[in-house]
Amino acid sequence: MKGHNSGNESDHVTTMADEVTRAHSAGEGGDTIFGKIIRKEIPADIIYEDEQCLAFQDINPQAPVHFLVIPKKPIPQLSKAQDGDEQLLGHLMIVARKCAEKQGIADSGFRMVVNDGRHGAQSVYHVHLHIFGGRQMSWPPG
């Protein structure tokens, strides 16, 4: 089944090399796929929405539970966030916790990841939190 992960690190549908390749070809600026999801121009499996953010299932899950939390405000990278974005960025983390509870992974634990820039393997230049759960995560992650 495409997108299914049996829990083994080697079973990833998208490899880290794939993400790095996407990150190296991604460009900052302009509209992104996340902007289209926010405007409902393309479908997404939305699990949460409020006036500040949106959470939806990842289309290529890397864990049994894998969703994204994105701000509606287009911030291209965490490293380019402004001091005035503090409340919004904190709100994203609270929404991630609420969604983790709703998805049944809050009690067992989950991983939250923000990829930033080329070396951080950011492939979409719109800040987003990846939330992974439903299996034991390994360390180190990268």
Helix, coil or strand: residue 40:
coil
Residue for token pair 């230049």: 125
Q: What pLDDT does 43 receive?
A: 97
pTM across the whole model: 0.82
For 116-134, the pLDDT digits (tens) are 999 999 999 999 999 999 9
pLDDT (tens digit per residue) in 31-85: 899 999 999 999 999 999 999 999 999 999 999 999 999 999 999 999 999 999 9
Please check whether residue 97 is in contact with residue 134, taking contact to mean a CB–CB distance below 8 angstroms.
Answer: no
**Length, in residues, of the chain:** 142
The residues that are catalytic are 128
Fold (topology level) of 9-133: HIT family, subunit A (3.30.428)
Per the CB < 8 A criterion, the answer to whether 34 and 85 are in contact is: no
The predicted-structure confidence for 103-113, as pLDDT tens digits, reads as follows 999 999 999 99
Of 97, 119, 125, 123, give the one whose Cα is nearest residue 110: 97
Residue ranges of the domains in the chain?
9-133
